[in-house]
Copies of this chain bind each other. A is one copy, B any other.
Amino acid sequence: MFHTFQKYLSGRATLTSKELELVLSLSTEKKIAKRAFILREGEICCTQTFITNGLLRLFRTDDKGNEYTLRFAAENRWISDRESYVTGKPSNFNIEAIEDSGILVWKKEAFDFLLKELPVFKALMKSLSTKSQIANENRIYASISNSAEEKYLQFIEKQPGIFNRVPLHMVASYLGVTRETLSRIRKQLAHK
């Protein structure tokens, strides 16, 4: 698992081996079984998580029990509830493993320390944050401008490595339609 992260980092930031070691030394390695949670609604999200293998999702449940998936994250991605992490308030979200997964976890204090000590690391995080912001803006645009079918096609196109690893009802909950509707959309698409 360290290896994956090491490869990830070395491709994006120039760190000395000592610095890399520092980053790794502050992390905790964990294995997460399918269906296990690493964050539950009501808890405070005080960690940053890097996924070395597997697949997780960030989702929320409303009063009626409906689930809404905010995003999926597979190997070589980071995941956390940014709002709770930044504000220190209880999270409204859950993070759940969709597959058996391996993760590296940093506590907030450790992560802040790294950001302070390693400008290159900080720059990487900033660039990721900017990218995710742009992606979010594009998703908002998609959500107001596209039909459900278009959203589905776009999802497949933009996250080709994800859609076939995820149960359909979770994709539906990501797109904001019911599973039945998505099932019908797929059927139609198959006829073309």
Cβ-defined contact, A140 with B133, below 8 A? no
The interface on chain A, measured as residues whose beta carbon lies within 8 A of the other chain's beta carbons, has a size of 26
Are B141 and A83 interface neighbours, CB within 8 A? no
Q: Are A137 and B82 in contact (CB under 8 A)?
A: yes
A143's partner among B66, B137, B140 (CB-CB below 8 A) is: B140
A144 at the interface (CB under 8 A from B): yes
Binding site for B on A (CB under 8 A): 60, 62, 66, 68, 70, 82-83, 86, 129-130, 132-134, 136-141, 143-145, 173-176
Question: 10 closest A-B pairs (Cβ-Cβ)?
Answer: A144-B176, A143-B143, A136-B136, A83-B134, A68-B145, A68-B144, A133-B133, A86-B130, A139-B140, A62-B145
